[in-house]
Amino acid sequence: MKVKAKVKNDKVKVKLLVKHPMDTGLQKDKNSGDLIPVKYIHELSCVHDGKTVFLASFGRAVSKDPYLAFSFSGGKKGDTLSLKWVDSMGDTEEFEAVIK
């Protein structure tokens, strides 16, 4: 996961890119010809200071390597953001980013 979190005008602007294939189940493997099974992120959350500041739920239409941008108030430079996603197969990733 790549995260950019910056304070601007009293708000924290967050931009992130998650590395994830977001397989729709419609694509075929180039070598075997078999359908690649569905595997896509269901939810992604962002927590700051114990509070969920953003929660995204995805369908299969979200692009591979999902990108998100959102803003919230109450954060300051140096604070930590905790990000986490869970996908349709139960796989998960947690990531911490520092607000700049």
CA end-to-end distance (rounded Å), the chain: 17
Which residues have C-beta within 8 Å of that of residue 43, sequence separation ≥ 6?
Answer: 55, 56, 57, 58, 85, 86
Minimal distance, residue 34 CB to another protein, in Å = 19
Of 5, 62, 83, 99, the one binding another protein (CB under 8 A) is: 62
Pick from 28, 37, 55, 80 the residue near another protein by CB under 8 A. 55
Q: Is 81 near another protein (CB under 8 A)?
A: no
Does 54 bind another protein (CB under 8 A)? Our answer is: yes
Say how far apart CA 85 and CA 55 lie, in whole Å. Answer: 10
- Of 25-44, which residues contact another protein (CB under 8 A)? 26, 42-43
Buried b (16+ CB within 10 A) or exposed e, 63-83: eeebebeebbeebeeeeebeb
Does residue 52 bind another protein (CB under 8 A)?
yes
Positions in the binding site for another protein (CB under 8 A): 2, 11, 15, 17, 24, 26, 42-43, 45, 51-64, 66-74
